[in-house]
Amino acid sequence: MIILGIETSCDDTCIAIYDTKYGLIANNKYTQPIHTIFGGVIPKFSSIYHLNKLISIIKSLLLKLKITNINAIAYTAGPGLYTSLLIGAYIAYSISYTLNIPIIGVNHLEGHIFSAMINKTKPHFPFISLLISGGNTQLIDVHNIGHYKLIGSSLDDSLGETFDKIAKVLNLSYPGGEKLSYLSNFGKINKQLIPKILAYNINFSFSGIKTYYFKQKQLTKKHKYQYKANLAKSFEEYILNIMSLKCYKALIKYGRSCLIISGGVSANNNLRKNFINKLKNKINNFTIYFPEKNLCTDNAAMIAYVGAIRITSGEKLNNNIIIRPIWSLEKLKYPLLNILY
C-alpha cells in the first residue's frame, strides 16, 4: 500500500510517500522562510504559504517519482494552528475524493512518537516517550498504539522554544536550536553557568532557566565568541541533566526500561550522544531510541507511517473532515482489529 502523507500543522509544508512493503520512499519539506524575519511563527503567513506551496510540491514529487497509484492519504488533523491544519485537510480531502481513495487524520504528537520507528528496529511496548519539540514537551507512558497516558508536561514554554530563546540571547537567528547546538561544539562547560537543578516531580518548567540566561545577556554582548560558545555548551549540559533526571523518575515510577526521544530537539547531538550514559547504569536492560535526524523536526513521513499502521490494522475509516487544533494524545481512541506494527 502506498500512502501520501501531508503535514501542515505549523510552519513547515511537508509531504511524504510511505510504502508498507518498501518503507519510506520520499520525505520532502518546504521550510517557510518568512518566519525568520519575525523571529517566530506568524500563523496567517504560515497558512498562506501552505496554500501556495502544498499542491505544487505534491505534483512535482509524484511526477518525479512517476507514482500514479497512491492507495491512501494521511494528513495531520491536529494539534496545531487552525488555518494551517485546515488547508492541509482540505487539500488532502480533495485528492482523496478525486482519486476515490481512503483518507485518515493523524495526531501530530502520535506521529512524533512513532517517527523513531520508521525504517528501524522497533521497540517493544510498553515504553516511555519523551516528546521535545517546538510546540510540546511531554512525557507519555505508551502502553500500545492508541493507548497513551500523559504523565508529565511543561508548565510554561516548550523545550524547543527555550532553545530558540536562549539562542536569541546569543544573537542567533530564529529558529536557533540547531545553531546553538553547533556553537556549543566550540565551547567548554562552565559550572558557574549551570544553575542548580530542582526536580520535585516529572513536569517541566523552563521559565527560570530562561531568566537565568537572559541575565547573562549583557555579558554576552560584551564578551567574545568563546564566552557565547561556553554558555551554549553549559546550557545544553543543564538540559541534558534535567531531562535525563525527569526521564529516570518517569521510567522508575512506571516500571519501564525503554525510552523513546523524539521531536525537533531530539536532533540535538549532545542529547543523542550522552543521554544513554546518564541512565544505562541506573535502569536494568535500559534501551533508548531516537528518530533518524531528518525525522526529528516536523515531517510528513511520521504522518504517513502512523496512517499506514492504522489503516493496515483495520481501523474503520470515515470521510468527515476532521480538524483538532487542541488534541491530547489521551483523547485518541480508535479500535484496531489487528495491530500490524
Cis before 195? omega within 30: no
Contact 163, 146 (CB under 8 A): no
| Closest to ligand KG4 by CB, 146 or 264 | 264
Out of 160, 187, 291, 307, the residue judged to bind ligand KG4 by CB under 6 A: 160
Interacting stretch for ligand KG4, rule CB under 6 A, among 44-52, 66-74, 160-168, 192-200?
Answer: 160-168
Q: Which residue is nearest to ligand KG4 (CB)?
A: 264
- Residue number with CB closer to ligand KG4 (10 or 74): 10
Maximum separation of any 2 CA atoms in the chain, in Å: 62
Asked if residue 12 belongs to a known ligand binding site, the reply is no
Three cell numbers written together for 27: 520525505
Site for ligand KG4 (CB under 6 A): which residue of 5, 79, 88, 135?
135
Residue with smaller CB distance to ligand KG4, 13 or 181: 181
Nearest alpha-carbon partner for 296 in 168, 156, 196, 177 = 177
Does the annotation flag 108 for ligand binding?
A: yes
Please tell me the distance from the alpha carbon of residue 110 to that of residue 69, in angstroms, as a whole number.
26
**Scanning residues 289 to 308, which ones bind ligand KG4 (CB under 6 A)?**
297-298
Stretch that binds ligand KG4, among 60-68, 116-124, 159-167, 283-291 (CB under 6 A): 159-167
- Residue 133 among known ligand-binding residues: yes
Q: Does 181 bind ligand KG4 (CB under 6 A)?
A: yes
Strands 127-132 and 258-262 turn out to be parallel
* Count of positions on this chain that bind ligand KG4 (CB under 6 A): 19
Residue 112 annotated as binding site: yes
Residue 267 touching ligand KG4 (CB under 6 A): yes
Distance CA 16, CA 33 (A): 20
Those residues with Cβ within 8 angstroms of residue 271's Cβ, 6 or more apart along the chain or in another chain: 236, 239, 240, 243, 261, 265
Q: Can you tell me the distance from the alpha carbon of 19 to that of 21, in angstroms, rounded to the nearest whole number?
A: 5
Q: Any binding-site annotation on 132?
A: yes
* Distance in angstroms (rounded) separating the CA atoms of residues 134 and 290: 17
Cα 169 to chain centroid, rounded: 24
Nearer to ligand KG4 (CB atom), residue 250 or residue 302 = 302
Backbone angles phi, psi at 197, to 5 degrees: -90, 130
**Count of other CB atoms within 10 angstroms of residue 40:** 15
Q: Report if residue 265 touches ligand KG4, rule: CB under 6 A.
A: yes
- Where does this chain touch ligand KG4 (CB under 6 A) — which range of 53-61, 217-225, 240-248, 261-269? 261-269
By DSSP bridging, strand 147-153 and strand 137-144 are antiparallel
The residue (of 8 and 96) whose beta carbon lies closer to ligand KG4 is 8
Question: Which residue positions form the known binding site for Fe cation?
Answer: 108, 112, 298
Question: Which residue positions form the known binding site for substrate?
Answer: 131-135, 164, 177, 268
Binding site for ligand KG4 (CB under 6 A): 10, 133-135, 160, 163-164, 175-178, 181, 263-265, 267-268, 297-298
Question: Which residue positions form the known binding site?
Answer: 108, 112, 131-135, 164, 177, 268, 298
